[in-house]
A and B are shown apart, each in its own frame.
Chain A
Amino acid sequence: MSDTVRIIGVTEDSFDTKTFEFQWDERASPGQFIMVWMPGMEEIPMSLSKTDRIKSITVKNIGADTHKLHSLGIGDPIRIRGPYGKGFDIKKGARMLIVGGGVGIAAVIPVVKETGADTIIGAKTEKEIIMDDVAGKYSKNLWISTDDGSRGYMGNAVQLMREKAAEKEYDVVLACGPEVMLYHLYNACTELDIDCQFSLERHMKCGVGVCGSCMMDDVRICKDGPVLNREQISKLKDFGTSKMDECGRRVNLG
């Protein structure tokens, strides 16, 4: 349900990304999201980057609404509703590899903490890497890739995943990041016959599975997702290819 909560902590994760903590007693599981609003911005969906009693959202400053959120300080109120959707299905004993691309690491970091599984963080450059300290503390192995090689492996997260999967056996890849990364990661998982669970994103309005704005084929990302498994993703023609705009028009992904 909805609540108005106050910010109790702000962390600067990088030059353009901040994490805002608040106390909220609703039970939430890793991979679930909330709708966030305050006057002066449009309400937007945000994954939870902490899912215990103290919860958080991690905001990359990419537009007017995230810019507004970046103005928040300790004690400031935000209106949130949720938690919504289906999160990651964490199976005990499964050999997991977690992949976070860019700010997408924020949606999977609760799983890293819960499981200590091997983790890959991918980013364009060194300065866009976030949460490597937390991931390093909890994960058994942490590997980092940057497109320009400014830190760690030079290349993208999918190339690094293929190398690691060749060295070590995994049952499932859990990931969040740009759709183009997830698209190639899905292809890699299919080729290597590794299961996967990805957190996906579409334009959201209601958040509760009634308005139909966030459909990928016949799947509601807000309610049936946002985390979908390999079998579910395999049926989606829209995955990696098209999305709907606010009018409900189909738009091809670049």
Chain B
Amino acid sequence: MSRYIVQRLVTAVMMAILASAVIFLIANFVPGDPVLAQLGDIAASDPATVARWRAKWGLDLPLWERYGIFLSGLVQGDLGTSIATRRPVLDDIFQYAPATIELATVAFLLSLVIGIPLGIAAAVWRDGWVDSVARVVSLLGVSAPTFWLAFIMLAIFYGGLGWAPGPGRLDPIAFPPEGPTGLFLLDSVMAGDWETFGDTVAHLVLPSIVLAAATIGLITRTTRAAMLDSLQQDYIRVSRAKGMRERTTILGHALPNALVPVVTLGGLAYANLLAGAVMTETVFSWPGLGRYTFRSAAALDFPAIVGITLVVSVTFLLVNLAVDLSYALLDPRVRR
């Protein structure tokens, strides 16, 4: 088991190093010109300004030298300085990450809490009304464009009915809670500030539902398929022949086996939620990584793009690692 963990860790680190090189290459080999994007047409027409600007950001050095600088910085936790915000990229990421982590985590929990039971019920009462509901929910979930769903939800529940608060993490006039994590839910609880807590929850409802929609669909589908498969196995018949309760048979025997593919998907889904928050955050004016990514991409802010892609990729790798490890916990056949 420990050998398995070590192997997975080493593989993950190697993949991360390779990934950094790939990202760096993409960011440097592509035709888009950051000078034009940053300085604007007028300043960019003056060669001296451009040269000064390029030297300042190290763009005049050869590629491999820049990668060397980038790598050595990386080791020291330095992802470079954002061209757009003129702040260290890592600082930016630390500032925006909590909002995204909070949103993605809530959406993830939401999709698990809805998707898994719905999938189980759909499989157990196959072709019944629960199954039909599950089918419609998952189909709409995976088919609706996130950004559009966000708009519709906002238009109906905020603009039309006024049931939900508007965009943002908090009321515009409210102060964010003091706290170490930047996760408002956690910080407000720790500070005992229940008013802010309530406000945070209210602001989270719409964006988390929107963000979770596709994941709910995927998890419902996967759970249903895995449960149907599992319920047809011989050991289910053996369990019934043993005289076990139907509940034990379904939740005790079928579910643990069905969870194996669901966990794989779940891990992937969580990482995708972190990344897919780009659109949700844009519509809900959510001050998270997604919006930061989008702004950096639009401004061709390469240090920021490289930094974010790297951080998100590493997170992706870590989540995959966690999935692999939980796999080993769920399925003894994987253990060695």
Q: Is A bound to B?
A: no
B residues apposed to A, CB below 8 Å: none
